[in-house]
Structure 1
Amino acid sequence: MINVILVDDQKIVREGIKMILSLDDEIKVVNEAENGKELVEFLKTNEYPDVILMDVRMPIMDGVQATKIVKENFKNIKVIILTTFNEDEYIFDGIKNGADGYILKDAGSEEIIKAIKTAYSGNILLNPEVATKIVRAYTAISSGKQTSSLLNEEKKKLEILTKRELEVAKLVAQGKSNKEICLELFITEGTVKNYLTKIFEKLELASRTELALLINQTNI
């Protein structure tokens, strides 16, 4: 059973997601919270969930700050950000704070369930549409700041990857899971995990989301 906590200040949103998740007998919503502070207090005194679905814009403590606290203290908990992508200022802070991925609030039931199961297995599902929107938002935010020299620096980082590591990185940027990558490259899933470990170490990245952002940003 995959235990999930929903964190959103809008009750109607929580109820809608709960209804969706109740359709799957492998997922159980163990608690809800209206803001990040409420979530953090719950985690101090209760059993940890496997996955947290976290809204970003909330009163008292927003999802970005809450994600930072969760990732610093409960590294095994997967955090999936719920976003409308009208919240650009939160998106990249969320990535830096260790968010494992993003789901659009209007995503279909199958996509939400699949994302939770994929995150639980350690392979966050980064939908290509989400990846594209993240890159577009980044471009808008960094307009006037992203010089050609900085872009060249980002591209240079990728030169330390082997040809196969770069292939794996590109597939991650396309939203592929580890299982999909191993089928496409005709290698084992364990080998994919080993490649990702090396890629993260070489590029000093913490998540698939950061890797996807880097690959899409450089347009290699």
Structure 2
Amino acid sequence: MYPEKINIAIVDDHTLFRQGLASLLNDSDKINVLFDAENGQDMIKKISQNPLPEVILMDITMPLMDGYESTKWIKQHHPEIKVLALSMFEEDKPIIAMLKSGAGGYMLKQSKAADLIEAITGIAQQSFYINELVSGKLLRNIQNNQPLKTQQVEINANELKFLELCCSDLTYKQIADIMNLSPHTIDNYREALFQKFDTKSRTGLVIAALKQDLIKI
């Protein structure tokens, strides 16, 4: 456990949200908010004016410099800072894109305060935070830029097309319609690929495929 408070920063373009969150977290005996910023450009300016935070809570959709670019900047200039994505989006594509940019975890804005504090503590201690949105083993693989420990899987043309469509926000039924296949066949593809990639989630499946350069997003 951390003997002292964890220093963090909040980057979000909604003023009332970030200031309210800062006030809420500062009331905790575990968190100290060093500063808040309204976008990536504001973040870069304030990082130069304040002590470095251990963790940055990063929104995705922001003007001037969004969460993806801001996270990439952090990982390039201050790799010791951990980034916890905090967003309204629970679709697979933004989660995967933030992980690829360098975030060590992903939380929804509607999460409970206690869960968010737990996530901040976890990412500060371990450099990553896993929950139902993010697979632990695959997150470590993508953050450490390590190859998957599973064998290179053999993918046929239909499975590859299925993986590519999994990167979208389409439902499995919509994917079945596009591929002109029955939902039952799509279910079989999904379950077979889950087994091949040793994962149980759509997000984990896509991250595994990205790590083996089978698909691009």
Question: Same-fold call, TM > 0.5?
Answer: yes
* Runs of 4+ residues over 4 Å off in structure 1: 86-89, 142-149, 151-158, 209-213
CA-CA distance at 1:72 after TM superposition:
1.2
Unaligned runs of 5+ in 2: 136-164, 180-185, 210-217
CA deviations over 1:108-135 (Å, ceiling 9, x no partner) = 010010000111101533221x239xxx
* Residue among 29, 37, 47 paired with 1:33: 37
Q: Secondary structure at the match of 1:131?
A: coil
Is the counterpart of residue 214 in structure 1 residue 208 in structure 2? yes
CA distance in 2, matches of 1:27, 1:34: 20
User: Which residue is equivalent to 1:17?
Assistant: 21
CA-CA distance at 1:12 after TM superposition:
1.2
* Residue among 2, 24, 27 paired with 2:6: 2
Whether contact under 8 Å (2:167, 2:206) holds in the other structure is no
Q: Secondary structure at the match of 1:103?
A: strand
* Residue among 77, 81, 104 paired with 2:81: 77
Whether contact under 8 Å (1:36, 1:62) holds in the other structure is yes
User: Which residue is equivalent to 2:166?
Assistant: 139
Unaligned runs of 5+ in 1: 133-137, 159-169, 175-208, 216-220
CA-CA distance at 1:17 after TM superposition:
1.2
CA distance in 2, matches of 1:211, 1:74: 29
User: Residues 167-186 of structure 1 correspond to what in structure 2 (within 5 A)?
Assistant: none
CA deviations over 1:13-38 (Å, ceiling 9, x no partner) = 11221232123112100101000111
CA distance in 2, matches of 1:153, 1:125: 24
User: Which residue is equivalent to 2:121?
Assistant: 117
Cα distance change on mapping 1:13 and 1:87 into 2, 3 Å: farther
Q: Aligned letter for 2:208?
A: L
CA distance in 2, matches of 1:94, 1:131: 11
CA deviations over 1:72-125 (Å, ceiling 9, x no partner) = 111110101111116765332211111111110010010010000111101533
Q: Aligned letter for 1:214?
A: A
Cα distance change on mapping 1:213 and 1:126 into 2, 3 Å: farther
Whether contact under 8 Å (1:131, 1:212) holds in the other structure is no
User: More deviation in 67-76 or 42-51?
Assistant: 42-51
The structure with the greater share of residues assigned to helix is 1
